[in-house]
Structure 1
Amino acid sequence: MHRLRTFVRRRDGNVAMIVAGGMAMLTGTAVIGIDTASMFLEKRRLQGVADAAALAAAQDPANATARAQVAVALSPDNGTRMVNLTPGHFERDQSVTVDARFVAGTASANAAQVTVESQLRPFFAQIFGTQQVAIAAQATAARIDLAAFSIGTRLASAQGRMPGALLSQLAGSDLSLSVMDYNALASGQVDLLKTIELLRTGPGVRAAAFGEVLTSDITLPQLAIAMAGATTSNSAAATLRTLSTKLPSRSIRLASILDLGPLADRTSADPQRPIRADAYAILREAVQIGTGNRQIQSDIDLGIAGIGRTRLWLQIGERPANSPWLSIGQAGRTAVRSAQMRLWIDIALLNAPLSLGSVRVPIYVELAEAEARLASIACVGGSGNSAVSLDVTPSLGRAAIADLDPTLLGNFQQAMALRPARMVTLPLATLTGFADIKLGGTAAQRVTFSRAEIDGDVVKSVATNDIAAGIAGSLLRNVDIRANVLGIGLSGGLLTTTLGNTLTVAAPALDLVVGQVGALAGVHLGQADVRVDGVRCGAPMLVR
């Protein structure tokens, strides 16, 4: 017992014991630290391989596996192999969590998720029997291809005062727009992104990005000046600057007609990749939302042979919510729609047979919305060989030869009451006519634009095919002409035959009137006119 107490009290060798224990701990820590650092470095290297493989796969989704294998093969040989490649579709949607934006599947694939693995032989862990450690890394990359497209963009070969009258009445002030001015605007292509860039840096606008410009208050004169700076057409620029002094200083928010999609975060335009639209269409859409005036009533001399005094009532409905006139976005989720429209044209014919005296032809046109959806963007070999496909649904509606109450045109919730039109009034007789054609439904039709057609600003039309040889021609083949002579109703005879022959001869001129008004307003009966305003084949980028 005494010896035990003596042993406990002695302090000889304590330092040696502490040093021995500390060295063991330091050695163990060093062993763990070196192996952990090696694993960390290998993980970083492997993540780089996964990133490169995912980017290569997203660049060419059709050959994703082969592209990714090549990228993996270029890495140092450390047992590195690709264990999984999942093609899918990536949506940059802020309302969806990051983890849910990639959806596996080969349909419309624009992304790839790659998992790679390597084997690491640790330096010191082998002492404890660990010969190899498996390390894995995963990366997701996507290529965001974008296209800009618009609806109702057909240019009219205008005559007379129609373009100026339409735009002036929408603006609520006399713009004194001549046919020459209209032609300059219709043929002058404006870069929309450059326009927004000029607005962003202009006076009175405080916006950090393009998307903020669209939600800012912009006056119509400001827009016209910015458009003038964003076109290469000198005549269009001069006309826009002149109009800027005549347009009312009302504020507009361009977000209701333009949707920049992923480009909303941009702060500058790329002159090599413009998004173009004709100046007249942009101005027409902007004036409509700026003034709130969607009704036009005018007596117009169209300058069309055989057509005399023409009285026009045009009512444009509200654009559907979240349905811009021009949109930029990804395939499968972006759509544009036209507005509803009601048009009544009371047309006087010149050179009618003497027995008929004066002949009037009142034509009523009612249009529902037309729609175009971005179906696909093909970027084979880069932007130079790109193509864009749209699924287009033409506008439904009706056309009639009829009289009506023009004050009711603005009530789109109520069907228009049509009645036979009094077309000829003679001392002892009157002639009435009535025709009513309704357009049936139709499924969306696929329309594809090549790169050459995109660069050439080609407009393509999709029709319901319910109307052949023009609206007036179709109506006249179905018109029911009745004569009332001395109070006696007749369905045949010389007068009705003469009127029928007169209308047949006048049909091409009547079609020209209706077509010109519709084109200037941006809508067409039984048709949808669409154009791809630009396409951008994106570079692959890591998204997760």
Structure 2
Amino acid sequence: MRRPAPLSGLVDRRDGNVTMLMAGGLAMLLGSAVLGVDTASLFLEKRRLQGVADAAALAAAAQVEDGTNRAQAAVATAPANQTRLTAMTIGRFDPNPAIAPGARFTAGALPSNAARVSLESRMQPIFAQVFGRQATPIAARATAARIDLAAFSIGSRLAAVRGGLPNALLSQLAGTELHLTVMDYTALAGAQVDLLRMSELLRSDIGLQAVTFGEVLGTRIALPKLVTAMAGATANAAAAQALRTLAGRLPNRNVRLDTIIDLGPLTGAVRSDPTRPVASDAFTLLRESLLISGGTRQVQTSVDLGIPGIGEIRMWLEIGEHAANSPWLSIGASGERVVRTAQTRLWLDVALVNVPLGLAAVRTPIYVELAEAEAKLASVGCNGGRARASAALDVTPAVSRVAIADLDPAALGNFQRAMELRPARVVALPLASVSAFADIRLGGTQAQRVTFNAGEIDGGTVKTVATNDVARGVASSLIRNVDLDARVLGLGLSAGPLVSSVGNVLALAAPALDMVVDQVTGLAGVRIGEADVRVNGVRCGTPMLVG
């Protein structure tokens, strides 16, 4: 029988070293595996928590008015854990690339369109708790925004007109006779042109490939090509035919549409959506295009509107340039965009006919001066989807001046100088004359909010914002405030009956004069003491993560 080796001999033996090394390595390997499992679990839990934060932010941004409840509901749908909503902030996100990404979200700013949520959870390690390690806190944050867009414009409500006034206006702006009939005008005023579809047709016609709508509008386009594209972008057959006829008569002058149309976020778009058009009436778009085509911005003509009691009307109209960065039509989010009318001066020398009491012809020269009216997009509402969309505009009518007076028509185009007005001789008899003078200034410095619902937006409804002073019956107001001065044999002798007769004639003619002023200013795209605005379309955005 072998005797066991003495213990002292074990020190020198080497036959068990591999087993010992394997045991130590296995322990280290198991420790690394435990650490790897816990680290991977922590990473996956952070990913899961970030996904919950993203979902909560998107839910809140979809309807910021109820953002907290929607975010909490999104968190509640997460798998059972210790996740909780620690912070919920409503604010405004500005996508302007000129702003640093970290500064584009402003907490509490109005109108709000974004939500930022912060979540917290605790993860219990799988193996590290054996060594006494407690649950690890983790956090996640997400910011989401919904950018709702609206297209809106400012101008004037187009109404029925008499005589050849539309043709006279557009022909002078075009620099050639257009032979526009009243039926043509009626068709153009009632036709809607999809501006994005028009841009697609222009892109194809002028041979531009793979360029954005913004690049198309920034290209110099010949008027005939533009009007032909307008014809292809309207569903009104009569207007399309009238536009194609006009295209053959227009001069080959070029326009850059981005000076009057600001596509905003749609600048980079390349495809139109017929279910979400951005539309304008054809007459206004044609008039605004002619104004920027490099021709005259002054109209001087004589017309007979066929209004009872009104004879020949001599008209001088001067339309100023739009202010820089102030287009006629704009697309943007609430609080971002402002549109303005152009400064305008108008002088009408109106002959009154069929004057009673044996008076000679009575003339009534009416002067109208309009500063810029403006509209700002106050809010876009898309709660409930596109079918319940709405938009609100803050509208400021133009400060206006109206007068019965004579003036120098050559000075109308100098908007830097105030017009010099003088009493107008309204009656000239062999032995007597009557002069008249009235001068009224209208307010319009306070913005007024006007709201459009989905039906009004889709129907192209135009709404009017008026000043609190004289908004309608301008000629009537002038005549009520006119000062009449009669001269007999060149002397200021008493001529009470003559003054009374002239006053009665003017009072009787006031409604007809109001009709003249209303038609002329409306065709020019302005209103006295009023601003007409329209929401041309709304695009409800989809919530997206922005931080």
Instruction: Specify the TM-score bucket, using the shorter chain as the normaliser.
Output: over 0.9
Gap change, CA 1:205 and 1:390, over 3 Å in 2: same
- Where do residues 38-117 of structure 1 align in structure 2 (5 Å cutoff)? 38-105=41-108, 107-117=110-120
Unpaired runs of 5+ in structure 1?
1-9
Which residue does the alignment assign to 1:30? 33
Q: For the Cα contact (< 8 Å) 1:437–1:475, is it kept in 2?
A: yes
Q: In 2, Cα distance between the equivalents of 1:468 and 1:493?
A: 32
Q: For the Cα contact (< 8 Å) 1:49–1:71, is it kept in 2?
A: yes
Which residue does the alignment assign to 2:7? none
Which residue does the alignment assign to 1:4? none
Q: Deviations for 1:246-301, whole angstroms, at most 9, x for unmatched residues?
A: 12222211111111121222111111111121000011111101124211111112
Q: For the Cα contact (< 8 Å) 2:210–2:270, is it kept in 1?
A: no
Task: Kindly indicate whether residue 133 of structure 2 is the aligned counterpart of residue 149 of structure 1.
Answer: no
Q: For the Cα contact (< 8 Å) 1:420–1:432, is it kept in 2?
A: yes
Q: In 2, Cα distance between the equivalents of 1:150 and 1:27?
A: 71
Moved more, 14-23 or 81-90: 14-23
Q: In 1, Cα distance between the equivalents of 2:285 and 2:351?
A: 32
Q: In 2, Cα distance between the equivalents of 1:128 and 1:100?
A: 44
Q: SS of the residue aligned with 1:291?
A: coil
Structure 1-normalised TM-score? 0.94
Match of 1:437 among 433, 436, 440: 440
Moved more, 357-366 or 445-454: 445-454
Superposition deviation, residue 237 in structure 1: 0.9
Which residue does the alignment assign to 1:270? 273
Q: Deviations for 1:496-538, whole angstroms, at most 9, x for unmatched residues?
A: 1111111111111111111101000100111111111112222
Matched residue type, 1:38: S
Moved more, 194-203 or 43-52: 194-203
Which residue does the alignment assign to 2:374? 371
Q: In 2, Cα distance between the equivalents of 1:135 and 1:47?
A: 10
Q: For the Cα contact (< 8 Å) 2:277–2:537, is it kept in 1?
A: yes
Which residue does the alignment assign to 2:538? 535
Q: In 2, Cα distance between the equivalents of 1:11 and 1:202?
A: 92
Q: SS of the residue aligned with 1:503?
A: helix
Which residue does the alignment assign to 1:341? 344
Superposition deviation, residue 131 in structure 1: 2.7
Q: SS of the residue aligned with 1:376?
A: strand
Unpaired runs of 5+ in structure 2?
1-12
- Where do residues 416-431 of structure 1 align in structure 2 (5 Å cutoff)? 416-431=419-434
Match of 1:229 among 224, 228, 232: 232
Gap change, CA 1:353 and 1:151, over 3 Å in 2: same
Q: In 1, Cα distance between the equivalents of 2:158 and 2:312?
A: 24
Q: SS of the residue aligned with 2:241?
A: helix
Q: In 1, Cα distance between the equivalents of 2:471 and 2:258?
A: 37
Task: Kindly indicate whether residue 500 of structure 2 is the aligned counterpart of residue 497 of structure 1.
Answer: yes
Q: In 1, Cα distance between the equivalents of 2:31 and 2:291?
A: 77
Which residue does the alignment assign to 2:306? 303
Match of 1:516 among 516, 519, 523: 519
Q: In 1, Cα distance between the equivalents of 2:337 and 2:471?
A: 31
Q: In 1, Cα distance between the equivalents of 2:208 and 2:68?
A: 48
Q: SS of the residue aligned with 2:235?
A: coil
- Where do residues 96-495 of structure 1 align in structure 2 (5 Å cutoff)? 96-105=99-108, 107-206=110-209, 208-353=211-356, 355-467=358-470, 469-490=472-493, 492-495=495-498
Q: SS of the residue aligned with 2:288?
A: helix
Q: In 2, Cα distance between the equivalents of 1:135 and 1:176?
A: 75
Q: Deviations for 1:118-141, whole angstroms, at most 9, x for unmatched residues?
A: 222223332443232222221111
Q: For the Cα contact (< 8 Å) 1:56–1:68, is it kept in 2?
A: yes
Gap change, CA 1:173 and 1:305, over 3 Å in 2: same
Q: SS of the residue aligned with 1:496?
A: helix
Q: For the Cα contact (< 8 Å) 2:148–2:380, is it kept in 1?
A: yes
Q: For the Cα contact (< 8 Å) 1:224–1:243, is it kept in 2?
A: yes
Q: In 1, Cα distance between the equivalents of 2:295 and 2:24?
A: 87
Q: SS of the residue aligned with 1:158?
A: coil
Superposition deviation, residue 433 in structure 1: 0.8
Q: In 1, Cα distance between the equivalents of 2:68 and 2:219?
A: 46
Q: SS of the residue aligned with 1:366?
A: strand
Q: In 1, Cα distance between the equivalents of 2:529 and 2:346?
A: 14
Q: In 1, Cα distance between the equivalents of 2:278 and 2:198?
A: 10
Q: SS of the residue aligned with 1:201?
A: helix
Q: In 2, Cα distance between the equivalents of 1:459 and 1:57?
A: 34
Q: For the Cα contact (< 8 Å) 1:468–1:474, is it kept in 2?
A: no
Moved more, 160-169 or 11-20: 11-20
Q: In 2, Cα distance between the equivalents of 1:123 and 1:279?
A: 70
Q: In 1, Cα distance between the equivalents of 2:239 and 2:416?
A: 39
Q: Deviations for 1:120-169, whole angstroms, at most 9, x for unmatched residues?
A: 22233324432322222211111111111110131031111100110111
Matched positions, count = 535
Q: In 2, Cα distance between the equivalents of 1:81 and 1:357?
A: 89
Q: In 2, Cα distance between the equivalents of 1:24 and 1:251?
A: 83
- Where do residues 3-14 of structure 1 align in structure 2 (5 Å cutoff)? none
Q: SS of the residue aligned with 2:402?
A: strand
Q: In 2, Cα distance between the equivalents of 1:388 and 1:111?
A: 18
Q: For the Cα contact (< 8 Å) 2:398–2:443, is it kept in 1?
A: no
Superposition deviation, residue 468 in structure 1: 5.6
Q: In 2, Cα distance between the equivalents of 1:13 and 1:309?
A: 125
Q: In 2, Cα distance between the equivalents of 1:322 and 1:107?
A: 23
Q: SS of the residue aligned with 1:240?
A: helix
Gap change, CA 1:375 and 1:491, over 3 Å in 2: farther
Q: SS of the residue aligned with 2:492?
A: strand
Q: In 2, Cα distance between the equivalents of 1:491 and 1:402?
A: 23
Which residue does the alignment assign to 1:526? 529
Gap change, CA 1:119 and 1:491, over 3 Å in 2: farther
Q: In 2, Cα distance between the equivalents of 1:367 and 1:491?
A: 37
Q: In 1, Cα distance between the equivalents of 2:485 and 2:166?
A: 36
Which residue does the alignment assign to 2:8? none
CA RMSD of aligned residues (A): 2.0
Q: In 1, Cα distance between the equivalents of 2:314 and 2:432?
A: 24
* Identical residues among aligned pairs (%): 61
Moved more, 444-453 or 487-496: 487-496
Q: SS of the residue aligned with 1:529?
A: strand
Superposition deviation, residue 43 in structure 1: 1.7
Gap change, CA 1:136 and 1:200, over 3 Å in 2: farther
Q: In 1, Cα distance between the equivalents of 2:30 and 2:276?
A: 61
Q: For the Cα contact (< 8 Å) 1:170–1:291, is it kept in 2?
A: no
Superposition deviation, residue 240 in structure 1: 1.1
